[in-house]
Chains A and B, each alone.
Chain A
Amino acid sequence: MKLREVMPGVYRAGRELATVNLTPGQRVYGERLIRHGGKELRCWSPSRSKLAAAILLGLRKLPLSSTSKVLYIGAAQGTTASHISDIARDGVVYCVEVSPRAAHSLIALGEQRPNLVPILGDAASPESYASLLERVELLYQDIAQPEMGRLLLENCSLFLRRGGHLIYLIKARSIRADKPERIFGEEVERLREAGVELIATMRLEPYERDHMLVLGRWRG
């Protein structure tokens, strides 16, 4: 298999993506491990991770480097977060998750990975995690809350550096039962009004229905 580094820290072979395993020998969610040039890589499945889906669907630029500081809101069990932690290996990934059930796995992941900070907290009350944070370069939000757009902006203004990037997963179904296109339009407009410079928007079909990923730059 021929692996090619398509973005810093992200490898691709045909329809498959992978990242260099920060903790060799360990799997996070049962993903396949591959040896490549003396390194161990973890396959990154687009059906498990919306960010992987977006990359396969043509997202060209990932605002992530090996030293990035990231705030990940809605990290769940840490599937996607673990790959971000692979990429930002010398940086730090602050992961916030509200559900105790998911946070349990996330805490275990934080114990394994030296650059992953697991936090059981609620995006709707940033004071529950503010004292652990610093301003970051990338804010990634994937939560299922009707108020997700407002929360994104609130968290950006608190924790995202000016000129930093944001990745916003819009889950139309979680906002309300309406035509997804209409909801996406409103959400994008909301970001534009808040002064976010839009870099890319993409629907995630066929991997996720009624989801859109927005990549933007925060000028706050």
Chain B
Amino acid sequence: MYHAVRTVVGLLVFSEEGRLVDVLRYEKPEEVLDEPELTREEAEFLQRLGEEVRCEGVHVFPGMGGELFRSRVREVLEELGIEEGEYRRRVRACAIALSRRRLRRALGSRDMMVKQLVSALEELEEVQNLLTSRLREWYFLHFPEAAGLEELPELVARYGSRENMRGVEGVGALAEASAGAGLERGDIEVMRSFASSILELRTLREELKRRLEEVLLQHAPNLCHLAGAPIAGRLISAAGSLERLARMPGSRIQVLGAEKALFRHLAKGAKPPKHGYIYQHPFVKGAPRRERGRRARALAAKLAIAARADAYGGRFIADELERRLKKGNEA
């Protein structure tokens, strides 16, 4: 049996005794090295040798061929008539080209897009809350009675001063008898712009959510159907990728997003968390308190199955999973 290895200079074939038998030189090694199977050229070349060949990285890893090359690079290069300096230049050039290709592939993965969308959404929500509470305090000067209203940003953006709110349903009466200060027009105008910006951020948030859902329905349809886009996105983002999520046991998925509580449990023996991101799921959140742990466990188990189906190209099984989840819940 022969032992082969792909290197920057080409496909090297060694005999059982470690002698270099033959070599198929590569034009562009960076195009070959990441191929999981033998290329047609390689396969034909090996076939012509008329001996069984085991190639490192294709048939075995680690392999004898690789070991034979890596432990005596200098001797092998000499046999091939390649200068060491020239070899190093080629290795570096190939590594750069190969890494670039991998980088492009990695950046193009849908997981990366999901992660950015999820982070953008989270940060946007933070900013919204921050600005909204600023508006409340600010507008308090002018109209303290309305500062706590849920729809304050809309009201301010639409009407500006409290005088303009007289007769408006819900706040009209409050506006008539307000204890707030009368402000200059400039003050009101700038608060109004501020409030409009908050509303614009809301539109942006809806757009982000919509896009996240579109991306996830394609990338992880089962997970997205079962968990809903925001939770599915957070899970993928926390795991690092869909594939890594798929390799996690349900029990791990159950506590993703509850790291603080989990480590407090592991380090100090506090109570273990029942749920992380999946708490936001109506199936868990909507359950009576004492049921939540049980439901979180069941949901996480089904999500693990969904993630695996998505990562490894399974069919659409989310409806079936959902049915079983609900059924298990009745029992």
Contacts and interface: CB of A to CB of B under 8 A. Distances in A.
A103 to B, nearest CB: 6
Interface in B89-107: 89, 91-92, 94-96, 98-100, 102-103, 106-107
Contacts of B70: 130, 133-135, 158-159
Contact of A158 (B7, B62, B112): B62
Contact residues on A (Cβ < 8 Å of other chain), bracket? 20 to 34
Interface of B is mostly: helix
Given A130-B57, A130-B62, A134-B70, A118 B96 contact: yes
Nearest to B95: A117
A104 B103 CA distance: 7
A118 B99 CA distance: 7
A107 B99 contact: yes
A100 B94 contact: no
B96 A100 contact: no
Interface residues of B, number: 32
Contacts of B95: 94, 110, 117-119, 132
B61 interface: yes
A63 B129 CA distance: 54
B8 A132 contact: yes
Contacts of A134: 69-71, 73
Contacts of A176: 266
A169 to B, nearest CB: 21
A120 interface: yes
Nearest to A92: B88
Nearest to A178: B267
A180 interface: no
Contacts of A114: 89, 92
Contact of A100 (B69, B103, B263): B103
Contacts of A116: 92
B318 interface: no
B243 interface: no
A116 B89 CA distance: 10
B263 A120 contact: no
B114 interface: no
Interface in B1-34: 5-8, 33
B76 to A, nearest CB: 10
A132 B62 contact: no
A120 B92 contact: no
B221 interface: no
Given A117-B95, A119-B98, A135-B71, A130 B103 contact: no
B56 interface: yes
A131 B103 contact: no
B276 interface: no
A107 B103 contact: yes
Interface string B46-78: 000000000011000110001001110100000
Contacts of B71: 134-135, 161
Q: What are the nearest 5 A-B pairs in CB distance?
A: A120-B99, A100-B106, A134-B73, A120-B102, A127-B61
15 contacts: A92-B91, A103-B103, A107-B96, A107-B99, A110-B95, A115-B88, A117-B92, A118-B96, A120-B103, A121-B99, A126-B61, A131-B7, A134-B70, A177-B263, A178-B267
Given A100-B102, A110-B95, A130-B61, 8 more contacts: A92-B88, A107-B100, A110-B92, A117-B91, A126-B61, A126-B62, A131-B66, A135-B70
